[in-house]
Amino acid sequence: MPPKNANMQKITAICEKHAAKLGYELCEAAMEKEPTGRYLRIYIDVDREGGVTLDDCEKYHRAVQPSLEDFDYDFLEVCSPGIDRPLKSKRDIEKSLGLLVEARLYKPMEGQKAIQGFLREMNDEHVLLSQGEKEWDLPRKAVAQVRLVPDLSALEGAEDEI
């Protein structure tokens, strides 16, 4: 998803440079207006077990913040895209092939507005999901968002240990 304006293009370039230097992947930089002000949210990821930590976010924040002082925002947040992240970039899609996802639709298809299945393909034309014997070939323009479905099986029984 390309940045919407020249400032966001510059911000994204700065964020990508810092992410590469520190060994992170820039997932997205977004300017979001909220009642409390303008938030510049930067989503980073890392290829290692456990993903992005709070220390990673703090390290990246300290590194990138001085380079962003000339831009108009009230708050800078650095975050992980989360385990249920929406799939936006080509890299996100490639890493998610074969994983369980949920496609949220603008309008119901066969009575469903959200369809879960294993991601087989996703491009500008369509999203291909499989559910056992059934395959869903969804027109991309009908799909509002595709998100990973977290595998919480590792947590089963964990509440007994607490």
Q: Torsion angle of alpha carbons 135, 138, 143, 148, nearest 10°?
A: 30
Residue type, 103: A
> Could you report the per-residue pLDDT of 5-30, keeping only the tens digit for each?
889 999 999 999 999 999 999 989 99
The domain locations on the chain are 6-79, 90-148
Superfamily of domain 6-79: RimP-like superfamily, N-terminal (3.30.300.70)
Is residue 151 within 8 A of residue 98, CB to CB? The reply is: no
> Could you report the per-residue pLDDT of 55-92, keeping only the tens digit for each?
999 999 999 999 999 999 999 999 998 888 888 878 88
Q: Which pTM was predicted?
A: 0.72
Residue type, 111: G
| Cα distance between residue 101 and residue 147, in whole Å | 5
Pick the CATH number of 90-148 from 3.30.420.240, 3.40.50.720, 1.10.287.110, 2.30.30.100: 2.30.30.100
